[in-house]
Structures are given as structure tokens and as C-alpha cells.
Amino acid sequence: MRIGVLGAGQLGRMLALAGYPLANTFVFYDISGSPSVGLGEVIVDRGGEYLNDFLSRVDRVTYEFEHLPVSIAERIADVKPVHPTPRSLQVCQNREAEKTLFGELGIATPKWKIADSAESLRQAAEELGCPVVAKSNTEGYDGKGQAILRSPEEALEAWTVINHPRLMVEKFVDFSREVSIIGVRGADGDVAVYPIAENIHHNGILRYSLAPAPSVSKTVAAEAKRYLHAIMNELDYVGVLALELFDTADGLVANEMAPRVHNSGHWTIEGAQTSQFENHIRAITGQPLGDTTARGVSCMVNIIGEHGDISRILELPYTHVHLYDKAERPGRKLGHINVTAEHYDELIWRVRNCASFLPGVPEFRCSLAKG
Ligand code: AMP
């Protein structure tokens, strides 16, 4: 099958790497002007002139990034099958729509309010009770376009700094850790869910994902699964969906979701029976879903900004290096390393050893190893 992918970054690259063995080919549609996929055919279209050309070369379309106009996805859906649905894209692009949907589906969220002026931000902060997190309602990612308000008096400054006409204002959640759950739904409605991953961020960027997350009770795991099923069924979803959650004393609280393969699912390449990338391809091409069971325990370490000593890391027998063929730049995702092990103790020292060859990586701390 000829698969068209909207976006042409590392997620597209890994989708193609998983899709070629199943005899698929790939055409990427890039509106950024700087594709980094490095595989398949790439159509760079900053002016929107080549969409029909792109569509004439593919059998169906999916996305690897969600910050593209929904109108493009809708135009495409008139001509070719698009997975997931444009509605999924629309909901994921808009924090208000996303949190409203969560509420309708009985999925716990932080208490929230919308602000459309500095004064309404101040009011929201007062009513919710500080601290609160203010986020641009659209276009935010990796913690960008956000501010924490420790008192309502900080509203004017936060409003000016974020500089966005509409803000999602959330009560600050007192969480013990951040986790995510990734699932895949086939065209026939079949759903498969990966074990929950524990995610460690630094300056808003994901640095480590440990999977399966340790000490997840059966109740919590069942709750997370229920959330995913509810969202995917409601959106008539086909493909991989990622849901980011806060783990709190009162259970899981949903933060946001992504209508695509996700950085916190990269561990599945070597850490699960079937990777998230292969399962996305299987789903959108109408094939049976693959087994989502974990193989031992694993941890993904992101390579950010600088590559570090990759040769030394390649010498370690328990690492799997994935490079995105991108130039070094502060804060840029250049690749990741999957570290695999039989049990957590072994995994923790392996991750720390691997990280010692990566410059600027924060020390590995997780719910099992705090210091
Ligand atoms: P987001 O862009 O919504 O994923 O937010 C980026 C990061 O900010 C999250 O990974 C959390 O670490 C933190 N954060 C976001 N919302 C909240 C919240 N309501 N309470 C506490 N921390 C939050």
C-alpha cells in the first residue's frame, strides 16, 4: 500500500522503517520547509500547491504531527481515507475541546477554566485557587506557551508572556509521577493497549520513558485502559493514540492526548512484541493488530541537543540506538536509545551507564530510583 504521511519528521521516519517490511511505500507531505524524514518520497509544499499531487500518489493518509490545519485533513478526507479522523486532529489541537471531551467521557482532568483576557485569567486563578498552570489553548507543545501562576496577581505578566488570545487555565495537579498509555484501534474496532510508561521530563522535554511503569495497581491500569477505549471509540479512531496522565493519590488525571505515535512509546521498538509504529501501520492498512505485551523491562533515553559518545553507547550490549539524522541544535530531538533488561535493578544501572555518555542529560530518577 502507498501510505501518505502528513509531516516529515522523525516519527514519519520510524513509521516508514516499520512499514517497509510489510511492503508499504511512503510519501511525506511537508509544510514546514525543513523535512528531516530522510526516507521515502518527500513533497515540500509551503504554499499548499501540491496537495493534489501528493494525493494522487497515495492510497491512504495518516499524520505524524498534529499541528497542521484541520481544513487540510478535511479536504484530504473527501478524496482518500484519512486515519485518524480529522475530528481527532481537531480535538487534539484544542485544549478546551480535549478537556470537554474528557469530561463527557468521565475521564478525570484537573479543574479548568478558559481565559480570554488578563482579567479573566486573574479571575480564573482566583476561582481555581493557585497555583494554576495557564496554557495557550492551541499550538502548545513540549511545555511551550505556558506559565505557572503562584498568585492571581501574576495574571498580567503571564498573559503578556504567553501572548495568546485564549488560554486553558488548570489547577496545578499534585502528582507523584507522569505516565502515559498508548493504544491502537483497528478499522474493525479491535483495540490493543500497551503497558503504561513512566515519563521523566526536564525543562518540558521528555528525557526518559520507563516501561512497563513500576507499581501500577490493577485498578489504575484498568482505569487508564478504560480512558483509551472510551476516547478511541468516541472518535471512531483508527491508528495509535497516546494519552498523557498524572498519577495522583486519587487516581489518574488526564493531561493531554496525541493523535499519533508518541515519543513516550519509542520504547516499544525493542521493548514490546510489536512496536507502536508497526501497529499504527497495521491499523491504518486494515491488518490485524500486533501483540502489545512488553518484552522484559526497558527505558527510552532521548538524545537532545548533542549526540554525545554514540560509539561508546553502541559498545554496550543492552542498548539500541536510533538516530534521526538531524544536525545538533539546543533542545532538538536527535535520536533515542532503548535500554533493555530482564528486571528493574539491572535496567536502572544500565540506563545510568548509558546516560553517562550523553552530555547534558539529567540524572535518571524515577519512582524506583530517586537519587
Ligand atoms: P503539557 O504541554 O500540557 O503536556 O504540559 C507540559 C508539562 O507541564 C507537563 O508534562 C507537566 O509536567 C506540567 N503540567 C502541565 N499541566 C499541569 C498541571 N495542571 N499541573 C501540574 N503540572 C502540569
Please tell me the distance between residue 350's alpha carbon and the centre of ligand 1 in angstroms: 28
d(CA 269, CA 14): 9
Contact 198, 366 (CB under 8 A): yes
Domain 177-355 -> CATH class? alpha beta
Smallest CA separation from ligand 1 atom 10, residue = 204
Contact 279, 191 (CB under 8 A): no
Tell me the CATH number for domain 111-171: 3.30.1490.20
Smallest CA separation from ligand 1 atom 7, residue = 143
Tell me what pLDDT residue 144 has.
Answer: 76
Which residues in the chain come in under a pLDDT of 70?
Answer: 141-143, 370-371
Tell me what pLDDT residue 145 has.
Answer: 84
CATH 3.40.50.20 applies to domain 2-82: yes
Mutation to probe ligand 1, out of 94, 133, 206 (largest number of atoms < 8 A from CB) = 133
Please tell me the distance between residue 334's alpha carbon and the centre of ligand 1 in angstroms: 23
Smallest CA separation from ligand 1 atom 8, residue = 143
Tell me what pLDDT residue 139 has.
Answer: 83
pLDDT single digits (tens) 205-234: 999 999 999 999 999 999 999 999 999 999
Nearest atom (ligand 1) to Cα of 140: 2
d(CA 92, CA 256): 8
Nearest atom (ligand 1) to Cα of 132: 19
The amino acid at 112: W
| Strand spans (E) along the chain | 2-6, 25-30, 41-44, 60-63, 112-115, 132-136, 146-149, 167-171, 177-185, 191-193, 197-202, 205-211, 239-248, 251-258, 297-304, 319-323, 333-341
Range(s) within the chain of domains with CATH label 3.30.470.20: 177-355
Range(s) within the chain of domains with CATH label 3.30.1490.20: 111-171
The residues lining ligand 1, judged by C-beta closer than 6 Å to any ligand atom, are 110, 133, 135, 140, 143, 170, 172-173, 178, 201, 204, 244, 255-256
This prediction has a pTM of 0.96
Grid coordinates in use for 84? 485518524
β-sheet with 60-63: strand ranges across? 41-44, 25-30, 2-6, 60-63
Please tell me the distance between residue 255's alpha carbon and the centre of ligand 1 in angstroms: 7
Tell me what pLDDT residue 66 has.
Answer: 85
Tell me what pLDDT residue 142 has.
Answer: 65
pLDDT single digits (tens) 166-193: 999 999 999 999 999 999 999 999 999 9
